[in-house]
């Protein structure tokens, strides 16, 4: 009977051992990590609660946290166990290789676009030396005659703008 009893209990024992290693042990590890994360929440951390509320920790207590939420910066108190995850604001880092040439560095760095005014000014400066070579008579012939215009009026065509323009003419 001893051999028969051992043969009957062996599958049951094996099933319990497999359940421990596949279900119970990983669950305890995960629970330990979550409890450690909740206990390490500090002021300034951004968190997400179990209910999905995102906020910034303003004050910590033993079993509760005061978080600040929304554009109105509303503050309210939550329990530590209700923290689902701590959001980490990692800043992106730029990869720089030691053996890169100056050309590769230029390609990696973002190119700053010049405002339109500066582009026009730079283009005018490039054209200026070419104009200096011309004779004054040629410059005068190329330039269209300037017309005197009344004071600039806003494009919206409001009545006040028209009245101001009439007063300036007088």
DSSP readout, 29-55? Answer: HHHHHHHHHHHT--TT-EEEETT--EE
| DSSP secondary structure letter of residue 133 | T
Tell me what pLDDT residue 7 has: 86
Q: What is the pLDDT of residues 44-55, one digit of tens each?
A: 999 999 999 999
CA dist 143 and 134 (Å) reads 13
pLDDT at 68 over 80: yes
Give me the pLDDT at residue 38, please: 93
Q: Which residues contact 95 (CB under 8 A, 6 or more apart)?
A: 108
């Amino acid at each position: 009977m001893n051999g028969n009893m051992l043969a009957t209990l062996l599958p049951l024992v094996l099933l319990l051992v497999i359940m421990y290693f596949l279900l119970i042990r990983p669950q305890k590890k995960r629970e330990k990590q979550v409890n450690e994360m909740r206990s390490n929440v500090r002021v300034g951390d951004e968190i997400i609660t179990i209910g999905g509320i995102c906020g910034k920790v303003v004050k910590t207590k033993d079993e509760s946290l005061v978080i600040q939420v929304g554009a109105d910066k509303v503050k309210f108190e939550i329990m530590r166990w209700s923290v689902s995850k701590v959001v980490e604001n990692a800043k992106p880092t730029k990869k720089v290789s030691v053996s890169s040439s100056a050309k590769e560095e230029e390609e990696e760095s973002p190119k700053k676009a010049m405002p339109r005014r500066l582009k026009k000014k730079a283009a005018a400066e490039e054209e200026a030396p070419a104009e200096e070579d011309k004779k004054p008579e040629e410059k005068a012939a190329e330039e269209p005659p300037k017309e005197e215009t009344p004071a600039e009026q806003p494009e919206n065509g409001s009545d006040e703008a028209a009245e101001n323009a009439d007063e300036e003419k007088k």
